[in-house]
Amino acid sequence: MRDRTAWLKALHIFVTGITILLVCGPSTASPFQLLVAGNDSPGLPLYTAVYPASAEGWEGEPALLLRTQLPESTTAEIGLNIPPGDYAIRAFVDQDGNEALNLSGRGRPTEPYASSLSPDRKRRSQRFEHAIVRLSAEQPSVTIELNYPRESRD
């Protein structure tokens, strides 16, 4: 009888623990996805910065910084583990491994780069306010397109 009671108690603890893990455990899937299109740099690192709209500029503090190795495919899918909200996103391919976006003497990128584009915009812009996108249950992903400056293809 004592063995049966101990076994039932252990079973109850085990089932309770599994239930808690299933209900309260962390999700392995990120709630939002960043799709990076136009990848011509498989195997190279992609640095991504996600800024809250409240940052009021690219100089603000990013909500999320990521380093991802680009896949062989032309589109990379990157999970964004951030709460719903308005964000501006920038990314660049680090072709020379210096962990920084290289700029020309005129301040233009010389490595592949991308930024988000507000839904009301038709043309690419590097202005922060033109890069604000909303991530929500209704809009769980955003696509950015890598731009390859002429200098990056030399």
Which class in CATH covers the domain with range 32-153? mainly beta
CB neighbourhood size of 60 (10 A): 15
Note the pLDDT tens digit of each residue in 37-59. 999 999 999 999 999 999 989 99
Bridging pattern class, strands 132-135 and 85-93: antiparallel
Annotated domain spans of the chain: 32-153
Query: In which residue ranges of the chain is pLDDT below 50?
Result: 3-4, 6-8, 10-12, 14-28
pLDDT the model gives residue 16:
44
**pLDDT tens readout for residues 84-96:** 999 999 999 999 9
Please tell me what DSSP assigns to residue 27: P
Whole-model pTM: value is 0.78
The predicted pLDDT at position 45 comes to 98
* CB-count burial class (<10 Å; 0-12, 13-18, 19+) for 32: buried
